[in-house]
Structure 1
Amino acid sequence: MRIGIDVGGTFTDFVLSGAPGGLVFHKEPSTPADPSAAVESGLVAVVAKAGLAMGDVTLVVHGTTLGLNAIIQRRGGPIGLVTSPGNTDVLEVARCRMPNSVDFHLTKEAALVPRNLCFAIPARLMVDGTVLMRPEPADYDRVAGSLRAAGVATVAVMLLHSYLHPALEAEVARELAARLPGVAISASAQIWPESREYERALVAVLNGFIAPLMQGYFSRLESRLAARGLTAPISITTSNGGSVGLRSAGERPIETVLSGPASGVVAAAQAAAGTRFTQLITLDMGGTSSDIALTKAGEPEYTTRTTVGDFPLVMPVVNVSAIGAGGGSILWVDPQGVLKVGPRSAGAAPGPVCYGRGGTEPTVTDCYLAIGWIDPDAFLGGRMRLDRAAAEAALLPLAARLGFTGADAPARVAEAALAVATAAMATELAKGLAQRGEDASQFALMPFGGAGPTHANLLAEAARLPAVLVPPAPSTFCALGAILADVKRDFVRSLRLRLGAEGAMARLRAALSALSAEATNWLAGEGTMLAGHILSATTEMRYAGQSFELTVDWTAEAFDDPTPDMLAELFHRVHEGVYGFRDTASAVELTSLRVRVTGRMAPVELPAAPMLPSAAPPGTRRVFRAGSWRDVPVWRREALGFGAEVAGPAILEQEDSTLVLLPGWVLRADRQGNLEMLRAATSTP
């Protein structure tokens, strides 16, 4: 029996598998001051809802954005940085780029480590591994004393060329750790040994920056759940769509920063299996933001270059990008009288005005309530009553600014705000697809998160997507992804070799063997619940003379017996797909090799939809649409069995979410319990 948990800004979600009645879902209000409190109370509630005891649980898999939020809000540290002489400004110099090349009023983002906490130590390597400078004991004493006096909680160490020759950097980290008891040390080559000193230093700094916060949270979580009688192991989902044990997550918390969004994409890929939709755009719309990702043939899209707050991250992650507002995004009018939505969010505290927790600024959720899309008495299955009058009152000042008058003024503001948010989301979605060379007409939208199904039809209409596929329990979907996640970790070596050169393939095969052994040894310490494992490889490759690389996935044949011609052809195909041509006359260089180990978890069987007789809609609700009020049928989702069809406009309610079906669209329940939403002209029986 497994329990998946996803800690969000507004709610903490739970999914329990293995109970006699199938999957059990639960939502618990988040406790931002100490997220482990909501995890504890929600875990007790979902186990009780399933009619089981805490001792019956065999595994808890937990996704969290605690590290991500700490980086964005800069709530980690304090952290020091130790480098080779002349490199203490590596974080400030960065890539010598302004945030916007055409806006000279913008200032460069502040470095995560201030200059007074950056220290040089006489340790320097040549690219061939020759040691030019090695610290003396007095040097270690001096730097450790400065770090101790500065009161740092953790230290990152980055020496030039350590990604190729990590021994000296490891020595520096070891000597500093001996002199700074209780201070965690992050060595860049130990965390992510890849070239480009700024990015490598940043990974080590980010890891150290959030380490005290994350390790403290993991410790509190373990203590709280043990006190409740939990004896099962706890795993943490990771940014690459997998999961690792609590010990591994504490050692390298940087791997967990995008764990929550990645889990939802993993669940989407599995939930769509068996449907006719092989290409998905996932929409995770929660309280703060809306995140999109792509899946093809059941596999999420991965990237090795993403951003976390203001900072680039060069580790393999599920390619999730924020595209717009969330349910808690705040409405406002700028000095020119233009209605805006976000980026500020009401979060969990105080939350939207309708929550009655002290919020005064209207949000997207207040808009849903004001136009009648959400029933104030049925939110979370009736466990939380919303205040519609308060939401409408909060919209009135904006109505006055925009010139809306009369009894419909709050609803008109709400509809306008949803149009603004939708337009921004559709624009970002179109731009993201264009950058990937993808056609929107080939993808279905899969929405999840609390607000995903509510907003999905608006976005599909604006972005001209042909279909929407809504999973059975969308609001707790990231928690479902947590229990579906395999155990997974990536290992990397920088190589810098030219295919076809003398000795190149011998070096590559040696690195492949070493990484494979390192990966399988790590997996052996991650528990006994695995049903086998697989190894896969990717490389960063380029034509000789290019400044940046493309990621090339190896085939199984290449992994078993790589040859120069085989790898070159794989690279030519990727280059041709991105740039439209191949250059067979140029030499091909391989700069790094990554091996991923995936420990297979036993699959979780998702329940099929029951065959139910056609049911009449239980009632209607007045909804504001296109400038007027109208009565719209309201269905209960559980009343729609396999094969049921509904024509828009309509509203479908369930405990964890509300789905809105627009005019001109039809909805059909499939065998897996998903709801297919199609434009009426393309509906199929």
Structure 2
Amino acid sequence: MRRARVGIDVGGTFTDFVLSNGADGSLTYFKEPSVPSDPSLAVERGMAALLDRARLEPGDVELVVHGTTLGLNAIIQRRGAAMALVVSRGNRDVLEIARCRMPSSYDFSAPKEEPLVPRDLVFEIGARSAFDGTILARPPVEEIAELAETLKSRGVAAVAVMLLNAYVDPTLETEVADALASRLPGVLVSRSSQVWPEIREYERALVAGLNAYIHPLLERYYATLTRRMGELGVAAPLYITASNGGALSVDSARARPIDTVLSGPASGVVAAARIALLTGRQEIITFDMGGTSSDFAVSKGGEPEYTTRTDVGEFPLILPVVNVSSIGAGGGSIVRVDKHGVLKVGPESAGADPGPASYRRGGTEAAITDCYVAAGIIDPDAFLGGRMKLDRAAASGALERVAQRLGMTGEDRAAQAAEAALSVTTAKMATELFKGLAQRGLDPRGFALIPFGGAGPTHANLLAEEARLAAIIVPPGPGTFCALGAIMADVKRDYVRTVRRRLSDDGAPQALAATIAGLEREATDWVGSEGAIVEATQLSAEADMRYAGQAYELHVAIPAALGKTMAAREVGELFHQAHERLYGFRDVDSAIEVVTLRVRVVGRVPPIAIPELDKTATAVEPKGRRRVFHRGQWLDVPVFLRDRLVQGQGFAGPALVEQEDTTTWIIPGWHARVDAVGNLHVSRG
């Protein structure tokens, strides 16, 4: 009988697994070193080991939810498919012109980033629609045939089609895309009106282009992954985590892979928001520190914060995503001294191969993980539960070279260099945190930090102290937390239509309500096709609105009842309130324009059980003690095993808590307490 759900998160350094056993409510965690050349191989190996640890058979798995950074990495590293862009005549330079902004406001010689598609692979065609969708020009068959032959000769694997005003009426763009697809067998043809039909040609061209750019790579990966799961005997439905914090069937992800490009960070935020509600915390900051970067997000009232404008590498993305900010500071971030003698950390990373010096895989430069090892925070013999041994001598040797360049002397110079690097890293993180909270007008002292990722709990207390946060909540399996978030995710997708109607126009409320109803029907049909795991459906609507003449819009939530009428007075008042809340005033004399309507559909998935700890167990003593270098001196620190801690147990820092997927470092002046489900609450005093 199928009873288990498996969450998988493929990272650059490790591939993480969580199994929820519906029969007894238990959770099983596992980490497998990633294989950058073939990520699906690590998934296959890890899945086999996970099932063995849980004492289950492949046939016991009822659902697999998978997240990956493959698409994101392909964009950042420019390793996507050879592709072309097809545009309306006169619009060839849409990617070159972009938004006419300098890369730097003060450096007039700063080089401009290369566009996603080189200009010689951007092709014009005689297809054009007016602002209202009226077709002004159709390309002759001969022009399409000639363009198809040109694309064949250039050897492209994908083509994105973005015609002017196609967001109003996709008919012409669909005709052109279908005609090209019929002449280009084996070549993906992506059209902007299918991917994301929203106003603004540059951003729409990028969304369609990025979708085409990563499609062949992810198509091959999903095919290989499906084959490997089948060979293993896992026949469960496969879902892919999405950038909006939800999940999609693998077929939906294949059709529109751009939806998944920021899914990895989003899954952890979703899990953290659920955990926060269990603990009674309304305001949290999530802190995901992996091998390459650290990601931060804000969640209030159990709901992550979303945005419809973010960046993927140097490219703006207008899809709805969980609002995550990142800096290049992770466990693999390289520690170095620049030519001016200044200590620097990141953004360069040692990755999984060769990895930090302590990995003994050929890496010689010190990384943050080496700092943890040299300072005594991480036990080199207990990494990954002892499955992977680290080399403390190699870590210290790499840091001694850093210390020498900094002019440090004495027998503790490696530990001093390690602490200095950790301080630099902490300062970078705190700066990013302060900036994000200040932009929202929030006080960090009211927030709890929920750390996850392999290095999150290790660094969380250092960050909380620096950033003056109120508390820390370390979940039971922080090193595999994004994988847990994957199996907590509901099925979710967003729909959008640009309408550009003033509320005061005749018939505007009726037209707007009809558009929302159409989007809701489309969304409901989609969620009904996503499989039997959905037990309930929830719809919500938003309007992007502005005062006439403004350049950008505010997102205004539309209550369900109001969405059926879009009554001008009530909708206008909601916008006035939102504008006044953000900018401090309302302009009652200006016309209000509804630019875009949005609908989100959520297919609720049965929640997984979070097992409670035994209430009758007695507190255990530390397994031993270890020397840790902190604030210029060696401390004698007790070491606890996470799986031995009991409900209600408390202890004061300094202390270390070890588990297979991470180590939690509790600094002096802070106190830890274990709650009913095993969360570790760390607070001052």
TM-score (norm 2): 0.98
Q: Tell which deviates more after alignment, 587-596 or 547-556.
A: 547-556
Deviation at 1:345, TM superposition (A): 0.4
Conservation of the 8 A alpha-carbon contact between 2:513 and 2:563: no
Q: Quick one: which of 673, 680, 684 aligns to 2:678?
A: 673
Conservation of the 8 A alpha-carbon contact between 2:218 and 2:254: yes
**Separation in structure 2 between the aligned mates of residue 556 and residue 285 of structure 1, nearest angstrom:** 38
What is residue 29 of structure 2 aligned with on the other side?
A: 25
Give the 5 Å matches for 1:593-632.
593-611=597-615, 612-632=617-637
Q: Quick one: which of 663, 668, 671 aligns to 2:668?
A: 663
Q: Quick one: which of 461, 470, 473 aligns to 1:469?
A: 473
Letter of the structure 2 residue corresponding to residue 5 of structure 1? I
What is residue 496 of structure 1 aligned with on the other side?
A: 500
**Separation in structure 2 between the aligned mates of residue 416 and residue 38 of structure 1, nearest angstrom:** 35
What is residue 363 of structure 1 aligned with on the other side?
A: 367
**Separation in structure 1 between the aligned mates of residue 96 and residue 11 of structure 2, nearest angstrom:** 32
Deviation at 1:546, TM superposition (A): 0.5
**Separation in structure 2 between the aligned mates of residue 645 and residue 489 of structure 1, nearest angstrom:** 42
Conservation of the 8 A alpha-carbon contact between 1:324 and 1:421: no
What is residue 349 of structure 1 aligned with on the other side?
A: 353
When the two chains are superposed, the root-mean-square deviation of aligned CA atoms in Å is 1.1
Q: Quick one: which of 12, 17, 20 aligns to 1:9?
A: 12
Q: Tell which deviates more after alignment, 231-240 or 431-440.
A: 431-440
Q: Quick one: which of 647, 655, 659 aligns to 1:650?
A: 655
Alignment deviations for residues 472-529 of structure 1 (CA, whole Å, 9 cap, x no partner)? 1000000000000000111111100111321101111111111111111111211011
Deviation at 1:21, TM superposition (A): 6.3
Secondary structure of 1:634's aligned partner: strand
1:426 matched to 2:430? The reply is: yes
Deviation at 1:103, TM superposition (A): 1.9
Give the 5 Å matches for 1:47-66.
47-66=51-70
Alignment deviations for residues 426-463 of structure 1 (CA, whole Å, 9 cap, x no partner)? 01110011111111112110000000000000111111
Secondary structure of 1:404's aligned partner: coil
Runs (5+) with no aligned partner, structure 1: 681-685
Q: Quick one: which of 260, 265, 274 aligns to 1:261?
A: 265
**Separation in structure 2 between the aligned mates of residue 290 and residue 339 of structure 1, nearest angstrom:** 19
Conservation of the 8 A alpha-carbon contact between 2:14 and 2:32: yes
Letter of the structure 2 residue corresponding to residue 207 of structure 1? N
Alignment deviations for residues 203-255 of structure 1 (CA, whole Å, 9 cap, x no partner)? 00000000000000000000111111111110000000000011110110000
Q: Tell which deviates more after alignment, 607-616 or 106-115.
A: 607-616
Deviation at 1:39, TM superposition (A): 0.4
Q: Tell which deviates more after alignment, 548-557 or 59-68.
A: 548-557
**Separation in structure 2 between the aligned mates of residue 350 and residue 37 of structure 1, nearest angstrom:** 18
**Separation in structure 1 between the aligned mates of residue 656 and residue 306 of structure 2, nearest angstrom:** 35
1:410 matched to 2:423? The reply is: no
Letter of the structure 2 residue corresponding to residue 613 of structure 1? T
What is residue 223 of structure 2 aligned with on the other side?
A: 219
1:521 matched to 2:517? The reply is: no
Secondary structure of 2:107's aligned partner: coil
**Separation in structure 2 between the aligned mates of residue 662 and residue 324 of structure 1, nearest angstrom:** 24
What is residue 344 of structure 2 aligned with on the other side?
A: 340
Deviation at 1:600, TM superposition (A): 0.7
Alignment deviations for residues 380-404 of structure 1 (CA, whole Å, 9 cap, x no partner)? 1111111000001111211111001
Conservation of the 8 A alpha-carbon contact between 1:536 and 1:559: no
1:192 matched to 2:205? The reply is: no
What is residue 144 of structure 1 aligned with on the other side?
A: 148
1:238 matched to 2:242? The reply is: yes
**Separation in structure 1 between the aligned mates of residue 316 and residue 417 of structure 2, nearest angstrom:** 37
Conservation of the 8 A alpha-carbon contact between 1:331 and 1:341: yes
Conservation of the 8 A alpha-carbon contact between 1:324 and 1:425: no
Deviation at 1:560, TM superposition (A): 4.5
Conservation of the 8 A alpha-carbon contact between 1:623 and 1:630: yes
Conservation of the 8 A alpha-carbon contact between 1:291 and 1:324: no
Secondary structure of 1:207's aligned partner: helix
Deviation at 1:424, TM superposition (A): 0.7
Alignment deviations for residues 534-588 of structure 1 (CA, whole Å, 9 cap, x no partner)? 1111111111110001111222333354322222222222222221222222221
Letter of the structure 2 residue corresponding to residue 641 of structure 1? V
**Separation in structure 2 between the aligned mates of residue 15 and residue 571 of structure 1, nearest angstrom:** 43
1:38 matched to 2:54? The reply is: no
Give the 5 Å matches for 1:269-668.
269-611=273-615, 612-668=617-673
**Separation in structure 1 between the aligned mates of residue 265 and residue 278 of structure 2, nearest angstrom:** 23
Secondary structure of 1:104's aligned partner: coil
Conservation of the 8 A alpha-carbon contact between 1:356 and 1:386: yes
**Separation in structure 2 between the aligned mates of residue 94 and residue 23 of structure 1, nearest angstrom:** 48
**Separation in structure 2 between the aligned mates of residue 604 and residue 349 of structure 1, nearest angstrom:** 35
What is residue 182 of structure 2 aligned with on the other side?
A: 178
Letter of the structure 2 residue corresponding to residue 125 of structure 1? S
Conservation of the 8 A alpha-carbon contact between 2:6 and 2:18: yes
Secondary structure of 2:535's aligned partner: strand
What is residue 133 of structure 1 aligned with on the other side?
A: 137
What is residue 683 of structure 1 aligned with on the other side?
A: none
1:247 matched to 2:251? The reply is: yes
Q: How many residues align?
A: 680
Q: Quick one: which of 78, 81, 87 aligns to 2:85?
A: 81
1:117 matched to 2:111? The reply is: no
Conservation of the 8 A alpha-carbon contact between 1:89 and 1:115: yes
* Aligned sequence identity (%): 60
Go from structure 1 to structure 2 and tell me whether the alpha carbon gap of 1:585 and 1:162 turns closer, same or farther (over 3 Å shift).
Answer: same
Secondary structure of 1:271's aligned partner: helix
Runs of 4+ in 1 over 6 A off after TM superposition: none
Deviation at 1:141, TM superposition (A): 1.0
